[in-house]
Amino acid sequence: MKIKPRQNEISQSFLKGSDLNLREQEVLKDAAIRTGFKPQKLLSRSSWWTSKQIGAFHYLGKYKNKNAIMKIQGVKPEISEIYMIQSFKKANKSKIIRPPYLYTYLKWDDKKRYEALVLEDTGNTTVINSPTNQKEVDEFYNLYYEYRKNCLSDPWIEKPDEGISEMIKTSFENWKIASYKLYPKHSLREEDDQKLIDKAVEVLIKNYQNVELEFMHGHFSATDLYKVGGDIVLLSNLYWSYRNPFRDGIFAYHWFSYGLSDLPNIMPTQIDEQRRLWLEKINMLPKNGYERKLLKLALLERATAGLNLDALSIDPQLKASKYLVSTARRDVEELIQSI
């Protein structure tokens, strides 16, 4: 029997450090020569929150006269995204959702300290736009149910030995360090926030005892579902992993909410309305009382992660930032009371 690899914990890699931002052009040139990819334009850099450290970057270009995207991964993952994409493709039973086409790749090189993937260009037509509307959110959750039904039946990574409670404890210990490392002083962090976060973590650890981890795409977000022809292409395949139940059902809502801060002059009432569109669908996910509790726990875990660090990564000068941080704080308080 083939031994399955252990899962990635990407958000916690920040504390290991990365110098990819200093090596970007050197690595890009080397990867382009070795693969035949012709880079044309930088698309994005993947950083941890607002730090200068990047774990990966993407370039648009040409590969064998086709539009393509090169992704350079500069921090060694536990499991390569190459393996993840190939495994997802093999196990996938959906006729609608698929991974991106992988044209060619370079496996991780310990000496050069990178791996490279040349992928199809998925364009820029996402299922969800910002601001969104009822039709888009309905379509997103139709795809979520499709993914739950047809993309998860044959896990290709090993289930962790530690349970959810242990994972929560470790994650928040590391995220707390990251929060104060990135923002020793933050204008929107209140004096009692850390006490509230610690209390929430205690509630999570206590209530997640004996709850089973579930295999899922750990980054099923509004920015990872692209319409390509008649297909839906699911990106961020580095994040397939075992997580707490319902995390994949609320992850998009969590980050979409903070992304609203980028909209010029957005008002609190508009933020509330956008969040309501998501929450109406989210509250329909549980089938019974036990699942409703699991959903509340998942929402508490994300709201607490928001108050600790995610919400603090929004530019505090933006008009919406103070409201979004206070919303995270309120959500944590209310969810603790309801569990």
Per-residue pLDDT of the chain (339 residues; tens, 9 = 90+): 455 666 655 544 444 556 888 888 999 999 999 999 999 999 988 775 555 677 889 999 999 999 999 999 988 888 999 999 999 999 999 999 999 999 999 999 999 999 999 999 999 999 999 999 999 999 999 999 999 999 999 999 999 999 999 999 999 999 999 899 889 999 999 999 999 999 999 999 999 999 999 999 999 999 999 999 999 999 999 999 999 999 999 999 999 999 999 999 999 999 999 999 999 999 999 999 999 999 999 999 999 999 999 999 999 999 899 999 999 999 999 999 999
215 sits in which H/E element: strand 214-217
Cβ contacts of 98 within 8 Å, gap of 6 or more: 89, 92, 231, 232, 233, 234
**Distance separating alpha carbons of residues 131 and 288, to the nearest angstrom:** 31
Tokens for 314, please give them.
């929004």
Helix axes 193-207 and 319-338, enclosed angle (nearest 10): 40
pTM: 0.92
**Distance separating alpha carbons of residues 118 and 72, to the nearest angstrom:** 9
By C-alpha distance, which of 333, 7, 322, 319 is closest to 157?
7
Tokens for 121, please give them.
């260009």
To which residue do tokens 């206590």 refer?
206
